[in-house]
Amino acid sequence: MSLWKKEFCPFCGAKIGLLNYRNQEGIAVCPTCFAKADLDIESFKLLDIETLSQCYEKRRQDLELFQQFRVTNEVKIGVFKGYYIREDANLGVWYVSNSKKPTNPTLFRHEELAHFELLEDGNSVASGGLARAAVGGVLFGGVGAVVGAVTGSKTSKKVITSLEVAIVLNTPYRKKISISCMGVDSKVKSGSMAYNQHMKEAHDLMMFLHGIKARASAPTNTNAASSPSSAADELLKFKNLLDMGAITKDEYQAKKKQLLGI
């Protein structure tokens, strides 16, 4: 008689081995399905099985929508191993990936960006896209104002060990994304060439996010056929109708071309 109760992944049916991931209810998910969810371990643990099921459905929809994704804005963080943050302003979606050519990244809608903040050694340097400090004459914020140096009047250069952009999301699946702007450096001196390069990349990312936030709050043109944000929602709605057999593939393709303007 076995001393261990056999468990199976609720999503794919695979037998649960020693390597598994458990949510807040203690339900184990296999490594393959955990990877498909595209969640960090902290976010995964907080979700119940129903919300996880919704997350997997969204990932399926993301794959369909990503086939239509065309980069309109992009920011690269890091020279070698880093992050790619890209937006399709026409679809009204964006993503963060550490792969140059991702196959199925999690897509976020403009309105799902709640807040963003630049942190230097845990201290806030900028938030909401408008920074209060810069080094070396770097411009921050939508108003293009040049602001004072982070180091102020200190005579010695401060050693920085952490420079990251914290992104707060308004989704039930993931609440936060942290993007390190330090690259391969474990520490740099403020005001140094390396520090200024990292700060420039952080500035570019903050302005990128500021643009997304601005587009999310822009007034809707009621005379337009569809807004960027609604185009993605409408496309997913018609894809669901196709999956249910309510419309034909030709009808779906015609509607897709209409929504995307192609």
Residue 73 to residue 114: CA distance in whole angstroms: 19
As a whole number, the mean pLDDT across the chain is: 80
Which pLDDT value is given to residue 156?
A: 59
Check if the beta carbon of residue 95 is closer than 8 Å to that of residue 171.
no
Global pTM value: 0.72
- E strand or H helix that includes residue 121: none
Given CATH 2.30.29, say whether it is the number of domain 73-217.
yes
| Numbered ranges of CATH 2.30.29 in the chain | 73-217
Which pLDDT value is given to residue 129?
A: 44
Which pLDDT value is given to residue 219?
A: 65
Which pLDDT value is given to residue 262?
A: 65
Which pLDDT value is given to residue 136?
A: 34
Which pLDDT value is given to residue 97?
A: 94
125: three-class secondary structure by DSSP:
strand
State which residues of the chain have pLDDT below 50.
Answer: 1-2, 129-155, 222-226, 228
pLDDT digits (tens, 9 = 90+) for 53-95: 999 999 999 999 999 999 999 999 987 778 999 999 999 999 9
Residue 246 to residue 82: CA distance in whole angstroms: 43
Which pLDDT value is given to residue 133?
A: 38
Check if the beta carbon of residue 209 is closer than 8 Å to that of residue 114.
no
Residue 95 to residue 177: CA distance in whole angstroms: 11
Which pLDDT value is given to residue 251?
A: 72
Strand partners, 179: 165
Check if the beta carbon of residue 157 is closer than 8 Å to that of residue 192.
yes
pLDDT digits (tens, 9 = 90+) for 232-255: 777 777 776 677 666 678 777 777
By DSSP bridging, strand 113-120 and strand 123-127 are antiparallel
Secondary structure of 235-256 as H, E, C letters:
HHHHHHHHHHCCCCHHHHHHHH
Which pLDDT value is given to residue 42?
A: 87
